[in-house]
Amino acid sequence: MALVVICLVVVSATISLSFFTLGYWMILPFAGLEILAVTAAMAISVRATKDYELIVVNDQTVTVTKRRGKRMVTHDFQRYWTRIRRERGVNRLHPTHLLIGSHGRFVAIGSALTEELKDKLARQIRKAIRNHYPQVHNKVSE
């Protein structure tokens, strides 16, 4: 990826500096801005490809691990009390939020997903949590 950016920088700099030396300097700032934009877009996209959210449902707990860039945060919830919630965005033009949590403590998950995929994810997590309930009830009844 760095090679791609370097190639673009070399080509763009060669062109704009050539005109600069001839006195036509106004091409240089445009080229500079553009290369900054390309580099930023590449960096943001590359960083985003390493981001992830991992949701693990165990007998007792639901663990949500979120990685954003170099930051990694883990949240643990009691499985029996874990709830999935949807909240509206600021207004109807903003995406909804998918929240997971319990006891009044909720974290947003799947913020990069489409609305349909948020629905699907919510259903999958509920199913995963619910599938343990009979075992719990069985244990209680025993």
Partner 1 sequence: MATAEAAHHDEHHGHPTGILRWITTTNHKDIGTLYLCFSLTMFLVGGLMALVIRAELFQPGLQVVDPHFFNQMTTMHALVMIFGAVMPGFVGFANWMIPMMIGAPDMALPRLNNWSFWILPFAFTMLLASLFTAGGGPASGWTLYAPLSIQGGMSVDMTIFAIHMMGVSSILGAINVIVTIFNMRAPGMALMKLPLFVWTWLITAFLLIAVMPVLAGAVTMLLTDRHFDTAFFNPAGGGDPVMFQHIFWFFGHPEVYILILPAFGIISEIIPTFSRKPLFGYTTMVLATAGIAFLSFIVWAHHMFTVGMPLAGELFFMYSTMLIAVPTGVKVFNWVSTMWRGSLTFETPMLFALAVVFLFTIGGFSGLMLAITPADFQYHDTYFVVAHFHYVLFSGSVMAMMGGAYYWLPKWTGHMYDERLGKIHFWTNTIFFNITFFPQHFLGLAGMPRRIPDYALQFTEFNVISSMGAFGLGLSQLIFVYVVIKCVRGGKKASDKVWDQPRGLEWTVPSPAPHHTFDTPPKIA
Residues that bind partner 1 (CB under 8 A): 1, 4, 7-8, 11-12, 15-16, 19, 22-24, 26-31, 33-34, 37-38, 41-42, 44-46, 49, 83-88, 92-93, 95-96, 114-119, 122, 126, 130
Least CB distance from residue 1 to partner 1, whole Å? 6
Q: Retrieve residue 34's tokens.
A: 């553009």
Q: Retrieve residue 7's tokens.
A: 């190639």
Nearer to partner 1, 52 or 73 (CB): 52
How far apart, in Å, do the first and last CA atoms of the chain sit?
59
Nearer to partner 1, 65 or 102 (CB): 102
Q: Retrieve residue 135's tokens.
A: 């075992």
Q: Retrieve residue 14's tokens.
A: 């060669």
Q: Return all residues near 4 (Cβ < 8 A) that are at least 6 apart.
A: 42
Least CB distance from residue 72 to partner 1, whole Å? 21
Please state, in angstroms and as integers, the Cα–Cα distance from residue 83 to each residue in 29, 70, 88, 96, 130, following that order.
Answer: 52, 28, 16, 16, 10
Nearer to partner 1, 70 or 92 (CB): 92
Nearer to partner 1, 73 or 112 (CB): 112
Least CB distance from residue 56 to partner 1, whole Å? 19
